[in-house]
Chains A and B, each alone.
Chain A
Amino acid sequence: MNKIIKIAKLIYEYTKYGEEGDVVGKTRAIDDVSLEIEKGDFVAILGHNGSGKSTLAKHLNAIFLPTEGTVWLGEMDTKDTDHIWDIRQRAGMVFQNPDNQIIANVVEEDVAFGPENLGVPSMEIWERVEKSLKAVGMTAYRRQSPNKLSGGQKQRVAIAGVVAMKPDCIIMDEPTAMLDPHGRAEVIETVEELNRTEGITVVLITHYMEEVIHANRVIVMDDGKLVMDGTPREIFSQVEKLKSYRLDVPQMTELAYELKKEGLPLRDGILTVQELVDELCQYV
């Protein structure tokens, strides 16, 4: 199989300094994580704040470098500084705050920012911008100021900016944390579409459980360690375990779990309203 990301025994530590610049202590944000991600996958990483999920994501495009262990993107070791721009071109990143990642004052010029940095010729930049804006459904806004867009629209512009760099993989670091439900749906639908039609690998970091239902693989992190790994159904059939990692489950999963505790023989890992209705009707 074609692995796009390989992480081997990754450890990341950062040093805490006191007021006089003295070393107060070391914190291990990532503790011996090994992981491989297939090309074309939609992988969701869950975990509460401080579980190390964002730190892990920032290793995938060499924003952070391992203290120990190795991260490969394709054949490239992220520690190899010769490849740093190739790595960042191939693994694009979308961040949490929609305002703080848009650089230009016009939507289309922002989308062009990545290709401009890569030295793509002007004519080709126009083509890429055109195509990327179309892929995220923002063509109608191309000449607008980003300040006039909603949060969800800004995140779509940010995604277009990454797509214009022709990446193999998009890493999304809590892209929906600051959005309303409408904006969240907008962003998730956009990446799902890119994953499906363009075959771009997606790594989505989030703490909204509804967003991971459509992923084909879910990874749970806690205290810097990788603690669960499986399909959404496998993960959500372990309600107690998820709760012990201070995570939620979708409301229907929770209800099915409660009913099961009351003695109803429902199957594990129910995710949606439809599934629960079918299951209940089958039982009665």
Chain B
Amino acid sequence: MIRDITLGQYYPIGSPIHRLDPRTKLAGTLIFIIALFVAKGLWAYIIATIFLGAVIRVSKVPLSYMVRGLKSIVILLLFSVVFNIFFIRDGVVLVQIGFITITAGGLIQAAYMAVRLIYLIIGSTLMTLTTTPNDLTDGLEKSLGFMKKIHVPVHEIAMMMSIALRFIPILIEETDKIMKAQMARGADFESGNLIQKAKAMVPLLVPLFISAFRRASDLAMAMEARCYHGGDGRTKMKPLRYQKNDKIAYGILLFFLVLMILLRLVG
């Protein structure tokens, strides 16, 4: 049953965003992040909000899924807000108790910073929610293809990522099995101090590593038997090709970015 878990957090429905080329979504996320850091002034943030809202709407993914992603950054968020409130001294002084000074400028900055971080997380969560890990791997391989010229093994890295995606659930299941087998021999993985706990992991980790190596060597042989010899001369069943929608998406993204830059220059 553990095998049923989906890695990443893909939300399996069909929407225009889901159907975009993964490269478009990768580039789009990057452009959105850049735009957030360019943003300055209330109008810029209003436009960013409208833009993000529209994309979420089109993606058909419930907002609650994106909010979940925020839980992991609550502390970071609080820290940066507090930092901004206390240390930026700009504009009218609102409160002054001892060495603590809170200014209107500080509050505004803190609010912008919080919004920026939240949008950044929502934006990248949206990408992983609408793109399968496989597509993401494919997209990265193709987008980063230019790095092959400087001897970065892009194809190999992508292949490793895709194989890891396949084997992680299998290894999780295996961990569960070995753990139970050792527990049946009286092993105790829970009690004891840190050192005892670490020692208790040996009977789990050694078999797990052995199994992982055996699988790796089996898989390498199976791949060679199916004529795998690296990325050279390889074709694809599903080559990435930009569609009409991707061109439209790029158009909207560029327009959005230019608008944000203009607002900054004007402001």
Chain A residues at the B interface, C-beta cutoff of 8 Å: 61, 63, 85, 88-89, 92-93, 95, 97, 99-106, 108-109, 112-122, 125-126, 129, 146-148, 161-162, 165
Contacts of B203-253 to chain A: CB distance below 8 A: 214-215, 218-219, 221-229, 233-239
Q: Are B170 and A118 in contact (CB under 8 A)?
A: no
Cβ of B69 under 8 Å from chain A: no
Q: Are B3 and A147 in contact (CB under 8 A)?
A: yes
* CA of A118 to CA of B229, assembled, Å: 9
Q: Are B225 and A100 in contact (CB under 8 A)?
A: no
- Chain B residue with Cβ nearest A161: B226
Determine how close the nearest CB of chain A comes to the CB of B104; give it in whole angstroms.
53
* CA of A118 to CA of B170, assembled, Å: 28
Most buried by B among A103, A109, A114, A129: A103
- Chain B residue with Cβ nearest A85: B227
Q: List 27 A-B contacts (CB under 8 A).
A: A88-B226, A89-B227, A97-B218, A100-B215, A101-B219, A103-B166, A103-B219, A103-B223, A104-B134, A105-B134, A109-B237, A112-B237, A113-B226, A113-B228, A115-B237, A116-B236, A117-B229, A117-B234, A118-B227, A119-B235, A121-B235, A122-B235, A122-B237, A122-B239, A126-B237, A147-B3, A147-B169
Q: Are A147 and B236 in contact (CB under 8 A)?
A: no
| Residues of B close to A103: CB separation below 8 A | 162-163, 166, 219, 222-223, 226
Q: Are A116 and B134 in contact (CB under 8 A)?
A: no
Determine how close the nearest CB of chain A comes to the CB of B234; give it in whole angstroms.
6
| Residues of A close to B223: CB separation below 8 A | 103, 113
Most buried by A among B4, B214, B224, B226: B226
Q: Are A63 and B235 in contact (CB under 8 A)?
A: no
| Residues of A close to B162: CB separation below 8 A | 103-105
Chain B residues at the A interface, C-beta cutoff of 8 Å: 3-4, 133-134, 162-163, 165-166, 169-170, 214-215, 218-219, 221-229, 233-239
- Chain B residue with Cβ nearest A89: B227
Question: From DSSP, what is the main secondary structure of chain B's interface residues?
Answer: helix
* CA of A114 to CA of B237, assembled, Å: 10
* CA of A95 to CA of B226, assembled, Å: 11
Q: Are B225 and A92 in contact (CB under 8 A)?
A: yes
Q: Are A105 and B225 in contact (CB under 8 A)?
A: no
Q: Are B224 and A88 in contact (CB under 8 A)?
A: yes
| Residues of B close to A125: CB separation below 8 A | 235-237
Most buried by A among B170, B215, B221: B221
Partner of A146, one of B166, B221, B235, B238: B166
* CA of A188 to CA of B224, assembled, Å: 24
Determine how close the nearest CB of chain B comes to the CB of A112; give it in whole angstroms.
4
Determine how close the nearest CB of chain A comes to the CB of B125; give it in whole angstroms.
21
| Residues of B close to A119: CB separation below 8 A | 233-235
| Residues of B close to A116: CB separation below 8 A | 234-237
Q: Assuming the A-B contacts A112-B237, A116-B235, are A106 and B226 also in contact, with contact meaning beta carbons closer than 8 angstroms in the complex?
A: no
* CA of A112 to CA of B238, assembled, Å: 9
Partner of B227, one of A99, A101, A117: A117
* CA of A258 to CA of B133, assembled, Å: 60
Q: Assuming the A-B contacts A95-B221, A116-B235, A122-B235, are A162 and B226 also in contact, with contact meaning beta carbons closer than 8 angstroms in the complex?
A: yes
Q: Are B237 and A108 in contact (CB under 8 A)?
A: yes
Partner of B225, one of A93, A106, A115, A148: A93
* CA of A103 to CA of B234, assembled, Å: 15
Determine how close the nearest CB of chain A comes to the CB of B51; give it in whole angstroms.
32
Q: Are A99 and B134 in contact (CB under 8 A)?
A: no
Q: Are A88 and B225 in contact (CB under 8 A)?
A: yes
| Residues of B close to A104: CB separation below 8 A | 134, 162, 166
* CA of A184 to CA of B234, assembled, Å: 34
- The 4 A-B residue pairs whose C-beta atoms are closest, nearest first, are A100-B218, A112-B237, A101-B222, A117-B227
Q: Are B170 and A147 in contact (CB under 8 A)?
A: yes
* CA of A119 to CA of B228, assembled, Å: 10
| Residues of B close to A146: CB separation below 8 A | 166
* CA of A146 to CA of B227, assembled, Å: 21
Determine how close the nearest CB of chain A comes to the CB of B238; give it in whole angstroms.
7
* CA of A106 to CA of B137, assembled, Å: 14
* CA of A108 to CA of B134, assembled, Å: 13
| Residues of A close to B239: CB separation below 8 A | 122
Q: Are B170 and A99 in contact (CB under 8 A)?
A: yes
* CA of A275 to CA of B238, assembled, Å: 52
- Chain B residue with Cβ nearest A158: B222
Q: Are A88 and B215 in contact (CB under 8 A)?
A: no
- Chain A residue with Cβ nearest B226: A114
